[in-house]
Amino acid sequence: MRFLEDPPRFLFFTGKGGVGKTSVACATALELAGRGKRVLLVSTDPASNIGQVFDITIGNTITEIPGVPGLSALEIDPEQAAEAYRERIIAPVRGLLPDSEIAGITESLSGSCTTEIASFDEFTNLLTDTVAYGHYDHIVFDTAPTGHTIRLLQLPGSWTEFLSTGKGDASCLGPMAGLEKHRTVYANAVRELTDPNRTRLVLVSRAQTSSLIEIDRTFAELTEIGIRGGYVVINGVLPVTAGDEAIATAVRNRESAALSTIPTSIATLPRDTLELKTGNMVGIAALRTLFTTGSPVPTDDAITEETADAPLAALIDELEKDDHGLILCMGKGGVGKTTIAAAVAVALAERGHEVHLTTTDPAAHLTETLHGIVPGLTVSRIDPEDATRLYRDHVMATKGKGLDDNGRAALAEDLLSPCTEEVAVFQQFSHAVHESRHRFVVIDTAPTGHTLLLLDATGSYHREVARQIGDNLPFVTPLMRLQDPEQTKVILVTLAETTPVLEAEGLQQDLDRAGIRPWAWVVNNSIAAAHPDSPFLRQRAANEVEQIARVRALTSRVAIVPLLPEEPIGETKLAALTVGAHQSV
């Protein structure tokens, strides 16, 4: 593996959700530990699953991996990090300040912005704290899907600039006394990230056009902030042992076509290719096979399990009974939320309904999935940069209207805080929720962890409104609409694999605690639903049966979308996913 040659201290694995970053990062950590190195494997994904991969509980404390000398792991849990962060700020003044002031500080540190900052604080400590982490030879970062990762890696520079040029009055950071420490730590983190002798960026992709375009974007954006150089890993390429039946040949041709048009800027980077295996990458034994080639193919007579079909069209039939409503597609990155959201939106529009399809995913590009115009369908994107600019303009035009020059300058400076983006995105999300009272609004959400932060902002807003209004006046907040099954239908999208199903199950539990009950599940890209013939693919299909059964036990509504010979891009192919009794393509 070229990306493992003479590795520096820090290795970052990033890419579009679902490409196998966690598997590659975990296998890398095993390889380095096998070389006798002391290795810390860290997940910066708010929806981390490295504990599931190793089948142990990890969480927000450094945990040794049993059976692997020299390897430890850490999952930066946003909620635990936020609680510890608040306590570090409040503990020194508890008993010194009045309870009302303590309550005020606590309230200012209770939002999603503080949750992000707390996680980010732990991340920068990993880069700069030589006392706590200096004994590790390598720290391997399994990052969140691309959009979240870019924001994480941009934050050291963003906060350094904000604290250096502004007054530094960011309530989510805590009292002013600690800001000088933040400035120094963030500046040191920037130095570590931008030194190629200290940090290596590994861009993980599938042999798919969308995944390759995504890492090309990532490489360009990170190069702009000084993180230079990089390695490319193409994961999960269908091997020749998969046979030459129609579905295998089509997938192989699709992969070859994607790789032949790899973007120029990343085509020149060192590249490694990893074969798709017959089993899932769960457990130490499986992970140790990831970097090998020529995995054994099972005999066909050992594969007997099948699964029943469940068409996506059946869900559309139920959704169509209403003439409006909010439809949220949620799930782990890379499971196909964008495809399913677009297919649902196109189907409803083609049945004569007014539909607004939008996305909250910083890395999503719906136009690449749709490729055209569908009558009755409006497509938009909640772009963080555009949302922030509009929000800043609105605040300056309203709150800043009556201020003098000094007051307007102070307000403008405060709005430069990276926290402003979270507020701006939430505001546009709330507008989309409100719009669903009159037509269908289909939202392709960001990968799980980022979505939970957005829902946390929704809950914080609800609590603030309820506190201010009390019991005297009626009110409706975005959270109340999300909790109403008559107004909101949440569709959890997953793959028929262990980790995506476990993560979707965890998301369902998180939603339940917020009073939001998922309406249906979609199992996407199912090899079992494609009914393959070759032993290799039939073994992959048999591995799916247990996970599909698990999904059926969790919900009364399930749709299973088969792996297709061609990617479902464009209106015609999207419509084909939802063909039913009332449709034809």
**148-167: per-residue pLDDT in tens?**
444 555 554 554 555 455 54
Percentage of the chain with pLDDT > 70? 79
- At CA 547, angle to CA 543 and CA 551, rounded to 5? 160
Average pLDDT score over the chain:
80
Residue 539 predicted with pLDDT over 80: yes
> Among all chains, which residue has been given the structure tokens 């939970």?
452
**418-428: per-residue pLDDT in tens?**
567 767 777 77
Choice among 458, 499, 526, 578 that is catalytic? 499
Strand 231-237 relative to strand 39-43: parallel, antiparallel, unpaired?
unpaired
Q: Name the token pair of 129.
A: 């704290």
Average of per-residue pLDDT across 195-199? 89
Going by C-beta distance under 8 Å and a sequence separation of 6 or more, which residues neighbour residue 279?
Answer: 286, 539, 543
Structure letter (DSSP) for residue 134: T
Would you state the torsion angle of the CA atoms of residues 222, 227, 230, 233, taken in this order, to the nearest 10 degrees? -50
Residue 67 predicted with pLDDT over 50: yes
| CA-to-CA dists, residue 368 to 329, 372, 442, angstroms | 18, 9, 17
Tell me the range of 92-96, 360-364, 413-417 where mean pLDDT is highest. 92-96
Tell me the range of 85-99, 169-183, 446-460 where mean pLDDT is highest. 85-99
Burial 170-193 (b: 16+ CB within 10 A, else e): bbbbbeeeebeebbebbbbbbebb
Which sign does the torsion angle of CA 272, 278, 280, 286 carry? negative
Residue 123 predicted with pLDDT over 80: no
Report the largest interatomic distance among the alpha carbons of the chain, rounded to a whole angstrom. 81
Higher-confidence residue: 265 or 144?
265
The pLDDT value given to residue 355: 94
Give catalytic status of residue 23 as yes or no. yes
**7-49: per-residue pLDDT in tens?**
999 998 988 777 888 899 999 999 999 999 999 999 877 667 7
| β-strand partners of 526 | 562
d(CA 443, CA 464): 25
Tell me the range of 342-351, 493-502, 504-513 where mean pLDDT is highest. 342-351
Tell me the range of 44-58, 198-212, 220-234 where mean pLDDT is highest. 198-212
Residue 142 predicted with pLDDT over 80: yes
Choice among 14, 15, 17, 23 that is catalytic? 23
- At CA 427, angle to CA 514 and CA 377, rounded to 5? 95
Residue 115 predicted with pLDDT over 50: yes
The radius of gyration of the chain's CA atoms, rounded to the nearest angstrom, is 24
Q: % helix / strand / coil in the chain, to the nearest 5?
A: 50, 15, 35
Answer whether 535's CB lies under 8 Å from 298's CB: yes
| CA-to-CA dists, residue 391 to 360, 383, 407, 470, angstroms | 16, 12, 18, 27
Going by C-beta distance under 8 Å and a sequence separation of 6 or more, which residues neighbour residue 224?
Answer: none
Instruction: Identify the CA nearest to 453 among candidates 50, 75, 22, 79.
Output: 79
d(CA 142, CA 44): 6
pTM of the model: 0.71
> Domains plus CATH for the chain?
8-294 (3.40.50.300), 313-387+422-576 (3.40.50.300)
Give catalytic status of residue 499 as yes or no. yes
Backbone torsions φ then ψ of 571, nearest 5 degrees: -60, -40
- At CA 448, angle to CA 72 and CA 234, rounded to 5? 65
**320-371: per-residue pLDDT in tens?**
988 899 999 988 777 888 899 999 999 999 999 999 998 877 655 666 677 6
Of 221-230, 514-523, 526-535, the one with minimum mean pLDDT is: 221-230
Tell me the range of 47-61, 105-119, 301-315, 332-346 where mean pLDDT is highest. 332-346
Choice among 14, 16, 17, 21 that is catalytic? 21
| CA-to-CA dists, residue 48 to 203, 229, 310, 403, 447, angstroms | 18, 26, 30, 45, 11
> 390 falls in which pLDDT band (50, 70, 90)?
confident
Residue 573 predicted with pLDDT over 80: yes
Average of per-residue pLDDT across 178-190? 64
Average of per-residue pLDDT across 372-383? 83
**557-571: per-residue pLDDT in tens?**
999 999 887 778 888
**240-272: per-residue pLDDT in tens?**
888 888 889 988 998 999 999 999 999 999 999
> Among all chains, which residue has been given the structure tokens 């503990």?
91
The pLDDT value given to residue 584: 32
> Among all chains, which residue has been given the structure tokens 């005297």?
472
Instruction: Identify the CA nearest to 43 among candidates 113, 105, 119.
Output: 119
Choice among 15, 17, 22, 331 that is catalytic? 22
Choice among 15, 17, 20, 400 that is catalytic? 20
Residue 296: Cβ-neighbour burial (10 angstroms; 0-12, 13-18, 19+): exposed
Residue 524 predicted with pLDDT over 90: yes
Give catalytic status of residue 21 as yes or no. yes
The pLDDT value given to residue 169: 47
Residue 91 predicted with pLDDT over 50: yes
Choice among 16, 45, 115, 307 that is catalytic? 45
Choice among 18, 157, 325, 333 that is catalytic? 18
**478-496: per-residue pLDDT in tens?**
677 788 888 899 999 999 9
Higher-confidence residue: 51 or 424?
51
Average of per-residue pLDDT across 485-513? 87
Average of per-residue pLDDT across 506-512? 84
> Among all chains, which residue has been given the structure tokens 């792991």?
73
Higher-confidence residue: 238 or 363?
238
